[in-house]
Amino acid sequence: MTGSWLRNGDATTDAPLRLFCFPHAGGGGGFFRPWRALLPPQIEVCPVILPGREARIEETPYTRMADLLDPLCEGLAPYLDRPYALFGHSMGAAVAYEVARRFDGDPVRAPRRLLVSGRRAPHLAARRRAFAGLDDADFLQAVAQLGGIPEEVLRHRELVRMFLPGLRADFAVNETYRPSEGPPLTCPVAGFTGERDPEVTPLEMGLWNRTTKGPFRMTVYEGNHFYLKDLPVPLRAGLTGELEEDVRPAAA
């Protein structure tokens, strides 16, 4: 893949901590860019752009985590020259977790913290049917029921035609994903979820505690699978509270 994993201008400030953000299936960096103005300036929000969306819309999206991980980590490596944390929502939580595993043992480039949202712990088996192999109409209907596709988008066939390959590929990544083997992470992990999320229960979210030897905390917020849209004030405070522990020593 030849495209940039970050948008031009991202990862360019003097902020003491970078926060790499990985989107849900079909999501893009635009989902997280408003966070840059909402989180403290000490935290530089860096949305990760996967192939098949936004400026990389012409690129072929990956359909397997194993194929995605090597080029992704290679693309992020130049930006790990300062303290950083990883945030992922839904499918993005699995991607962030695998990136954390890849760099966790590196004495220089290990993440300070992993933040996961809206996804069951990686060792738990799926409990819903697979979507990726459905025909277009059934696939879009199934995904729309999760609340991730606005009705106005579904009414525009040309727009649907553009984002459908990336969306379907992401669901294939999600549905074929199996966590890589190895010891638990050493960095702290924090879990976030909406109390009415049909994709994950608070109990399933809490089982992320098995992924780390470090501290684990979980917070449940009002809302569904997309409780985090527009970064509501309670979540904003929760993220800031988690990351301030990493910002203070980095700034010092």
Delimit the domains of the chain by residue range: 17-247
Cα gap 212→182, rounded to integer Å: 11
Residue 137 CA: distances (Å) to CA of 60, 142, 143, 215: 22, 9, 10, 43
- Higher local confidence (pLDDT), 169 or 131: 169
Phi, psi of 21 (to 5 degrees): -115, 130
Give the mean model confidence (pLDDT) for residues 238-249: 88
pLDDT tens digits along 41-63: 999 999 999 999 889 989 999 99
Which one, of 88, 108, 107, 89, lies nearest residue 99 by Cα?
A: 88
Task: Using DSSP, state whether 167 is helix, strand or coil.
Answer: helix
Percentage, residues of the chain above pLDDT 90: 70
Which pLDDT band, with edges at 50, 70 and 90, does 159 fall under?
A: confident
Give the mean model confidence (pLDDT) for residues 107-129: 92
Give the mean model confidence (pLDDT) for residues 87-104: 97
Q: What are the residues facing 225 on neighbouring strands?
A: none
Give the mean model confidence (pLDDT) for residues 192-202: 95
Per-residue pLDDT at 1 exceeds 60? no
Q: Which fold has domain 17-247?
A: Rossmann fold (3.40.50)
pLDDT of residue 8: 84
| Degrees to nearest 5, angle at CA 125 with 120 and 126 | 75
Per-residue pLDDT at 94 exceeds 50? yes
Which pLDDT band, with edges at 50, 70 and 90, does 177 fall under?
A: very high
Cα gap 108→233, rounded to integer Å: 33
Which pLDDT band, with edges at 50, 70 and 90, does 142 fall under?
A: confident
Please tell me the pTM assigned to this model: 0.93
Q: What is the CA radius of gyration of the chain?
A: 17
Q: Measured between alpha carbons, how far apart are the two ends of the chain, in Å?
A: 38
- Six token digits for residue 118: 């809206």
> Catalytic annotation on 90?
yes
Which pLDDT band, with edges at 50, 70 and 90, does 252 fall under?
A: very low
Among 59-63, 71-75, 244-248, the range scoring the smallest mean pLDDT is 244-248
| Degrees to nearest 5, angle at CA 98 with 170 and 71 | 70
Among 35-44, 113-122, 152-161, 203-212, the range scoring the smallest mean pLDDT is 152-161
Per-residue pLDDT at 152 exceeds 70? no
Q: Given 4, 90, 117, 180, which residue is catalytic?
A: 90
pLDDT of residue 150: 65
Give the mean model confidence (pLDDT) for residues 110-128: 93
Give the mean model confidence (pLDDT) for residues 169-176: 92
